[in-house]
Structure 1
């Protein structure tokens, strides 16, 4: 199971994303506000994970909570995440930590963000203090979440020119408000700056990994990338290969130096000789044709290029129809099981996501969770797909 702090915890007031949500103009549909109140209700959420029979839970430690002002460490925030780690272990769940799931401190964004000369050291310090507290009890570490997201969105054409203009206006306003020359967040990057930020993410990833390994050399560490399953119809091989090189290969090559590569897959894209091909069939909430085999194809390609084991750190489907999700999960896991039989080393699978939450610029409109959350009472109600997921996982664990 996978989740992220800013999307679930609520009131992450010292973060760059919170700042952008409240900037005028903003591209965020609505502010995150209390989110799912997971910072308070974490025990309830871990109980749900346990009751589903799952043995691993990926979550993020929010840097902005731990270091709300530069050089000021909030010991209570570290205490909180230690409680979550220990609470997971008490329930038989292995904690998998993401050290930065997009959101970073506001002060970090205002002082150069990931392009700042001291950004790698600052991120390394964050990783070190988290490891000092809980590093001996976690199962794996993911430094950064989807540092290639901007390249993928651009390649898929999900960002029309007017969206790019709105993004730039928001970031310019945030910079003015902060009294700084520029302002970035990890998932809000102008198209012209994406490769400079990519290099910044690379330096941060390496510094973070070094800090993590310095505390615990045996801990598996990697980075998670957004990766579609790109397939070619007759004559589309060159376009498919160009997409892969543009969006994925930089990080897959870097992963050769890591312990695993995190794969985050939500769609399959078909390439023809003249561009993308759009087959008929049911579509998800992102507008792409539903493909059960997409996660297996993405994992296969990631392993072929990186040569390291794959952790499916996110996979799911955006839909308001839970019956579609209930059908999607077992069919996708069956395809992934076939891929394992073919020889692709899959370390584990983390469904995105536990509960309907704050989906960044789309606010609370996008539904990807196994659990419904009442926006007023924050009561958690498992959907039928949660039971399907639990039953599917149980079947794969039963001895043959």
Structure 2
């Protein structure tokens, strides 16, 4: 069967389980947060309490006039111990799917958004020969329960990110800190190789990618074995590589070959490719250039100190479609900033070029803004603010308050004609 795409464009917001749910005790991230040394400044803890307040989240999405919501079905919650299935977790995700549909929201699920079961990490995770079969079983389990009501399925979230970071996006000392964390986890867990999909040892990146590719192919087959017409694919982290010299062009092409072209064999036959874009990198003779953020026309920066280029989204989408030939879903796009006026401007400048591409006939099926909430941002903990809504964690109420940028996004969606 052919993929059953909706007859309308998906305008949505996105979250991920460990980053918003709270009280995750059975994933490898939770374990890594506690070992010493660790790369995490603090544990996720209660996060945004979305496991309890998921209806509030869905109400936020609906109140913005959106028609889709992307969230993850956490493997560690569903199978906290190998072979032991927590049916209450599946019940929870079923309620979420039904809650989406009651509000006119298309449910888009991610089957693995970085966090994995602790027991799987003890078996070397994606590096294990058994990983494809174990992950496929999880996928069949989830799709068997809710696959008849979801709109699309992302198998893996940004499996190219370790390679992308290792080619210039992360300093060497940061990778060494990850090595120390993983070594400490292996010792604490009493195993030879405790491994994670997001906290990575540099020399294992190729082995990890191979494991991810095998797991993705098994997952696609598993999803289709249950629901053959459900659109399924994976998402890639895509930096918009640009250049200002011939040498810069060579560097950009080399990075694209290493980070994106590597995935071409893995995605053959998929129904879409997810694009997750946040930044543009401009390359010169000696590598990345540092754009001017001062002077008469300073370029705004995000909380990571990177200059913002709203046009990077459309450029990344065009490149990935040309590379893969697949339909596109923008599964993540946003900006980390505590200045919400920067986010509003970013949305106003980034979305019109994307809409133009849709009108020009490029097969783009949806856009999901990252993120719905100010959440736990991995090794940055709560020091990065991507949310269209703030969350009052300090008072313990976890009250959500939409920011003006949510209105900017709502107004664009309301007036956009595709």
* Shorter-normalised TM range: over 0.9
Partner of residue 201, structure 1: 212
Structure 2 unaligned runs (5+)?
A: 1-12, 293-298
Match among 388, 395, 398 for residue 415 of structure 2: 395
Match among 220, 227, 246 for residue 231 of structure 2: 220
* Secondary structure at the counterpart of residue 288 of structure 2: strand
Between the aligned partners of 2:43 and 2:328, the Cα distance in structure 1 is 34
Instruction: Report the more deviating stretch, 195-204 or 182-191.
Output: 182-191
Deviation at 1:30, TM superposition (A): 0.7
Pairing 1:377–2:388 present: no
Between the aligned partners of 1:117 and 1:154, the Cα distance in structure 2 is 24
Deviation at 1:302, TM superposition (A): 0.5
Match among 177, 182, 197 for residue 171 of structure 1: 182
Deviation at 1:152, TM superposition (A): 1.2
Match among 267, 275, 285 for residue 287 of structure 2: 275
Between the aligned partners of 1:230 and 1:161, the Cα distance in structure 2 is 21
Contact kept in structure 1, 2:111 and 2:139, CA below 8 Å: yes
In structure 2, relative to structure 1, the CA distance for the partners of 1:344 and 1:278 (3 Å cut) is farther
Pairing 1:130–2:138 present: no
* Secondary structure at the counterpart of residue 390 of structure 1: helix
Match among 314, 317, 333 for residue 351 of structure 2: 333
Partner of residue 302, structure 1: 320
Partner of residue 360, structure 1: 378
| TM-align CA RMSD | 1.2
Partner of residue 338, structure 2: 320
Between the aligned partners of 2:343 and 2:209, the Cα distance in structure 1 is 33
Between the aligned partners of 1:239 and 1:342, the Cα distance in structure 2 is 30
Deviation at 1:331, TM superposition (A): 0.9
Partner of residue 54, structure 1: 66
Deviation at 1:248, TM superposition (A): 1.3
Partner of residue 33, structure 1: 45
Instruction: Report the more deviating stretch, 310-319 or 229-238.
Output: 229-238
Contact kept in structure 1, 2:374 and 2:387, CA below 8 Å: yes
Pairing 1:249–2:261 present: yes
Match among 86, 90, 94 for residue 82 of structure 1: 94
Structure 1 unaligned runs (5+)?
A: none
Aligned residues: 397
Deviation at 1:257, TM superposition (A): 2.2
Contact kept in structure 1, 2:175 and 2:200, CA below 8 Å: no
Contact kept in structure 2, 1:104 and 1:185, CA below 8 Å: yes
* Secondary structure at the counterpart of residue 370 of structure 2: coil
Partner of residue 192, structure 1: 203
Calculate the TM-score normalised by the size of structure 2. Answer: 0.93
Contact kept in structure 2, 1:292 and 1:335, CA below 8 Å: no
Partner of residue 75, structure 2: 63
* Secondary structure at the counterpart of residue 213 of structure 1: helix
Contact kept in structure 2, 1:253 and 1:306, CA below 8 Å: no
Contact kept in structure 2, 1:359 and 1:366, CA below 8 Å: yes
Between the aligned partners of 2:304 and 2:362, the Cα distance in structure 1 is 28
Contact kept in structure 2, 1:252 and 1:261, CA below 8 Å: no
Deviations 1:279-314 (A, max 9, x none): 222211222211011010111111001000110000
Between the aligned partners of 1:32 and 1:76, the Cα distance in structure 2 is 22
Calculate the TM-score normalised by the size of structure 1. Answer: 0.97
* Secondary structure at the counterpart of residue 350 of structure 1: strand
Match among 138, 158, 163 for residue 146 of structure 1: 158
Deviation at 1:166, TM superposition (A): 1.5
Deviation at 1:252, TM superposition (A): 4.1
Match among 281, 286, 293 for residue 311 of structure 2: 293
Contact kept in structure 2, 1:253 and 1:305, CA below 8 Å: no
Partner of residue 296, structure 2: none
Pairing 1:17–2:29 present: yes
Structure-to-structure mapping, 1:251-266, within 5 angstroms: 251-266=263-278
